[in-house]
Structure 1
Amino acid sequence: MNQFAVAEVEVGPIEAHEWDAAAQAYTAALPDDPVSGAELRRRDEEQRGWNYHAEVLVARQNAEVIGSAFYFQNPGAYHPQRFTLELGVRPDRQGQGAGAALWAALEAALRGLNAESARILAREDNEVATGFLARRGFVGDKRYFTSALDLTTFDAAPYQALEARLAAQGIRLRSLTELRAAGAPDLDARLHALMSDVRQDVPRADPATPLSFEVFKEAVLEDPALLLGGYLVAEHGGQFIGQTTLFRSEASPDLLTGLTGVTRDWRGKGVATLLKLGAIRAGQAMGGTLIRTDNASDNAPMLAINDRLGFVRDPASVSYQRVF
């Protein structure tokens, strides 16, 4: 072996001591989608607990983890033969065959499961990722925008009239912390019903499927990344009419927006903006400096709200599909 030789890449299932290294490799490759080892392990365990097909694979050079890949099934758009993929290789180890080896292992596993198709996201300005996917038969279709808001400079003054108008109509925001402290009856079931309602019309790459109460409770309410003070519900006359959520990964100080949605009868009346304002204030109270959110490019109403609030869009991410 001469000084320019590259060590062979070996791919296999993740081992118990490799979760942190796998997450670090993925986050280094995709810093806009950070994940910790504990979070990656939890997601894998959840999938298996729901009896879905899922596996985390790692690429190693000289026993060092340099890349990782994950195939799983989306409970909110479930189909027994459709899968979601994640794949990342440390930037300093790209171009040495790790990505190709991970994809070969993913493809073999998916074919063994009789997969119909698989999806993966890639930013359209990432020529390495988009070229990698195109060469392997992936075709891009749905586009998404990730946007960020600087909480240190946000000015809520222009929205005082909106907030006063909605307050006069009897609409108020209540956090999950407040609702639990108040002993709201059947709270978890009501939150599940609200999320199930408002998510139906959210644009997505694949059709929405019902989210079971079990999945909702484990994936949302029991997620360690959920910020209880940032889970906000809009209430009117004792009825829940809208929601938004905030999360924070162990791998990043940024605040991440989950689902923001309003029941059909209340759309177009400023409730979604009120929820966004509440989340911004909650984030500021928690010491956050940046909120990130993502929306499909055809979700014009929510994109317009975010634009007015001052969210700045990153280059679009594209959902690439591989049909088998």
Structure 2
Amino acid sequence: MTTRAVVRQAVVDDAEAVAAVRRVVYPYKAMSAQALRHMITVQSPGERFLPLVAVRDGEVVAWGSAGLNVWTSEPGQSEISVYVHPDHRKQGIGTELAERLHQHLTEVGAVRVRTFVHPDGLEFARNLGYDGTRQMHYAGLDLTAELPAQPPTPDGIELVSFDAVDPRTAYTADTIASLDEPSDSPLDAVEYDQWLEEIWNSPSMDKSLSIGAMAGDEMVAFTVVEPATDRIWSGMTGTIPAYRGKGLAKLVKSVALRRAAAAGMTSAYTSNDDENGPMLAVNNWLGYHRVQTELGLLRTL
């Protein structure tokens, strides 16, 4: 007889087990246990973030989380994530997590919720009232293979690692570059203190591998590297509008990938919205190969 899974709020000590489940479900989404520990413990109060796990026979078999998007000027926007270990699906665990999270979002004032699903989960999401809006492509790169030749650094540009820059410089570049990032809600309300706590101070970011391109005192392009054991995830690569079309995203990412390979990382993963043609072109040039496409879905609460 199968023991029923128990859903409860996630705690810090769940991080290692959640990371293991996530690696099985999403081998193309590198995230360390340290990053999950940070996610469970550090959020803005306004997010009303709720992390849940499902536990069966003492083993974490699923994760669910939801919260308000406090980085947009559009009120009531929220996000939800649910994933279940393949060995424990079709037993109502995902449904219970989703129902708990939808109830929470309704109680905290969410009016619209976004999620991304693997194609295998599309029917499940549609049965919960979600409808499609966009595609997100995931790609991987073998860092043990030879990378294309590093582009030259343009005159007037200096490459620096994030451990040598003022965080406010990186914040300014990040928030400007993110304004026209393809999304269902604009990222136009990112407060510095929140960004500092959730992004800059997160253990997921490796500041020695993350690279910025500086024009004087201004960061004009950057790429963020987030290691997870032998893999890295590209947290964000961006260029401010005045410096686009100069190959800077290609340059900083090329440098960061070389540093990651030298540090012993064997594979790199990234994601691109279907509408982000320039970044797709950069990743194709670097040698990334598509490994999965997820569907971005919305539901009105």
Same fold (TM over 0.5): yes
CA drift of 1:40 comes to 2.5
Q: Which residue of 1 aligns with 2:208?
A: 229
Distance 1:109 1:103 in 2: 10
* 1:89 and 2:84 correspond: yes
Q: Which residue of 2 aligns with 1:183?
A: none
* 1:176 and 2:168 correspond: no
Q: 2:274 aligns with which of 288, 297, 301?
A: 297
The amino acid across from 2:52 in the alignment is L
* 1:109 and 2:104 correspond: yes
Report Cα offsets for 1:70-110 as digits up to 9, x if no partner: 11233433655222111111211111121122122222222
* 1:190 and 2:186 correspond: no
Distance 1:240 1:65 in 2: 42
Q: Which residue of 1 aligns with 2:137?
A: 145
Kept in 2: contact 1:75–1:215 (CA 8 A): no
- Bigger strand fraction: 2
CA drift of 1:190 comes to 1.7
The amino acid across from 2:36 in the alignment is L
Q: 2:37 aligns with which of 24, 35, 41?
A: 41
Count of equivalent residues = 301
Report Cα offsets for 1:103-161 as digits up to 9, x if no partner: 2222222222232121111123xx2x11111111111211111111212212333x5xx
Distance 2:13 2:286 in 1: 43
User: Which moved further from structure 2: 106-115 or 31-40?
Assistant: 31-40
CA drift of 1:66 comes to 2.4
- Whichever of the two has the greater Rg, that structure is 1
Q: 2:61 aligns with which of 37, 62, 66?
A: 66
Q: Which residue of 2 aligns with 1:184?
A: none
Kept in 2: contact 1:20–1:37 (CA 8 A): yes
Kept in 2: contact 1:9–1:59 (CA 8 A): yes
CA drift of 1:230 comes to 1.7
The amino acid across from 1:145 in the alignment is H
* 1:100 and 2:92 correspond: no
Contiguous gaps of at least 5 residues in structure 2 = none
Kept in 1: contact 2:30–2:232 (CA 8 A): no
- Bigger helix fraction: 1
Q: 1:136 aligns with which of 128, 132, 150?
A: 128
Q: CA 1:273/1:297 → structure 2, altered by over 3 Å: closer, same or farther?
A: same
User: Which moved further from structure 2: 33-42 or 234-243?
Assistant: 33-42
* TM-score, normalised with respect to structure 1: 0.84
Contiguous gaps of at least 5 residues in structure 1 = 181-186
Look up the SS of the partner of 2:47 in the other structure. coil
CA drift of 1:298 comes to 0.6
Q: Which residue of 2 aligns with 1:199?
A: 178
Look up the SS of the partner of 1:230 in the other structure. coil
Report Cα offsets for 1:217-248 as digits up to 9, x if no partner: 11222111211222211122443221111111
Q: Which residue of 2 aligns with 1:29?
A: 25
Question: What is the Cα-based RMSD across aligned positions, in Å?
Answer: 2.2
Distance 2:45 2:274 in 1: 30
* 1:258 and 2:254 correspond: no
